[in-house]
Structure 1
Amino acid sequence: MRVALVHDWLVTMGGAERVLEEFARLFPEAPIYTGVVIPERLSPLLRSHPIIPSFVQHWPGARRRYNRYLPFLAYAFEQFDLSGYDLVLSSSASVAKGVLTRAETAHVSYIHTPMRYAWDLYPRYRDQEAKGLTRRLMGPVFHWLRLWDRMSADRPDVLIANSRTVEARIAKHWHRRSYLIWPPVDVDRIGLSREPGEYYLVLSRLVGYKRVDLAVAAATRARLPLIVAGDGPDLPRLRRMAGPGVRFLGRVDEATRVALLQGAKALLFPGEEDFGITPVEAMAAGRPVIAYGRGGVLDSVEPGVSGVFFREQTVEDLLTAVEAAEALEWDRDRIRAQAERFRPQRFREELTRVIEGALVAKGLRPG
């Protein structure tokens, strides 16, 4: 059986790329089709596969500003010739689901989210983050992208959502049903820590919708010790608003990331995410999560057992949640048990069952 893997773009190793790694483990000979690739930023596992980028790879600045070429990437994915494959497995938060396949091909698409910047977060991107010519062009360009996104969502035979939140978005924006399979999280690499933590922690890319500013403002007001690990365009603004108890570490390596999780009092997670792997990693270390109570954390964090939710994205609500967390006696083993539900083995087993069902529906033999 010939298998092709498809992914939006390969420019960093984030949660979506960890999902793609599991695809690659299931199908070690499969090539990977993608919009743009920066090979030196990828894991050895992904680099071991043949990687076929789109024609956008060779356009000026595509490695750094690939998202500026989004309408062209939608077209570019339609140009891949996947006619020789029996199974196409796509990992999509944007355009990867839009590849063209034969009627006889089984196409299973793992959806990290419908395009946030075209649907749920469109007003925020347009009014708060887009500037100049980009802002003026967003209206007509994103109108076309929404039409393409809805149309291309009909191309996969099977859709898989990574959380109940994404499952609801798929039903709302695309009018399709989906399976729910939570992403894989390598909890075994994070040891359980029973020592009391010394600081609150944010591990995040520093971009506006992550709402790291809430954590920084709350820590500054209440004089809480806070470590912010991560980099991004919001860093200068966050530094300006931070008090003396807030430390910025920039981008950290994997060993430092694990040590920070193990030494924290709690993870602060003030943004809304499609799923959110970092909260699961914090729970693997036995650390509670103080999170905005929307999005993927509703699937992973159990209030009073492994974390506390706040309902409004305000400094006051976040500080109230911090006070509630400090008043609770946390059972580190129960917190760890919450994280162990997301082991990669569980992901592979559930994904394999869905793939086998899609193949049988096409008259193909799994394996």
Structure 2
Amino acid sequence: MVERLAHFLTGWVEFEVRGNGPRFFNTAAKAGVEFWGFSRRGERLSARGTPGDYKRLRELARRSGAHPTIVARGGLPFTTARLKRRKGLVVGAAAGTAVYLFLSGFCWGVTVTGAETLTRLQVLEAARQSGLSVGAPLREMDYKATALSIQNRLEGVTWLSVNNNGCFVEVSLRESLPAPEVVNDREWSNMVAARPGTILSVEAERGRPVVSPGDTVTAGQLLIAGLYEQELDPYSPPPDEPYQVLGAARGSVRALTYREFSVEVPQEKTVLVPTGRRSQAALEVFGLRVPLGLAAQPEGSFRVWRSSTAWNPLGRALPLAWEVTTWETCREEAVLLEEAGQEEAALLALRRLQREELPPGSKVVEEELSYTGEGAARRLKAVCRCEEEIGLVRKISVE
């Protein structure tokens, strides 16, 4: 290894010898010339030597009747000579190295891991407000202080760290678990029906259920009792005084209920009609947006959307993106809906009303729709059978 390094530093030439090769090499050895890398190509002998020793071979070749010819050369002196003739290549390599060293001190991308209820955009916005974004200098960044600042800007985060991997930064976090519902066991209560229906299932966590699947209940009827007496064993003698249990009733009672929904939709509707469109391209480099063009935001009503395409070599997004912003100008226009359009708008309004009024976890299992009215207004009435939670906690008052 040391010998190869020495040959590279001093340079080497490889030559072939035609004629009396053995006499040539013997004469060179007596003159103190050193060669290495001997080989034979047919009738020709080849070897390697230093450039300085090769200059001494002319007289030796003439006396021995041989003709050496250079076939290859290499090493540091020859590489340096080639680079001197290509100054642009040297300057470009030096400039590229300088640019790389300069840009390596900035953030090229931020990734988020561990977010569940929080969105990636929320975490990135908190990081941006804390000084961490694409293009931020990394050499002067205090990662512990940045992590604490991001955590203070996000709710429900119990742990957060900021780690760098070269020019990229990773924000890792852990969100807190939702606090369990606190049940006041000292507050006596029953569970009653919030509305009439047919019981589908009863699950009592606390208290004793007094209804069974298939029973029909009315609004306010007792479902799960928080106050109840001991159940007597028919095969054992009854106690002198059966004990009573008094506490908070908790559980789940699902029932099949009957509901009616009604919505009304006018025939006239205001819509936005597109009148024109303009676009503007921009180049985003390290978080800096460079507009390419003179397009400006239009006045009045308009829609806007952006499309961004990042340079993504080898599956890793780099801080270089092509962004196109499009504005679509609009004007408000009143249109008269046909009967089919009114019915479609009424159905959408009905679905919104059902989502607002039905408890979470409910579903409509059957419905009958009827449209009435013509012209100025169209009314939609829905008679529905719903599966929903009807249990309602009601406090027991003791006077």
TM over 0.5: no
Higher helix share: 1
TM-score w.r.t. structure 2 length? 0.16
Larger radius of gyration: 2
- TM-score relative to the length of structure 1: 0.17
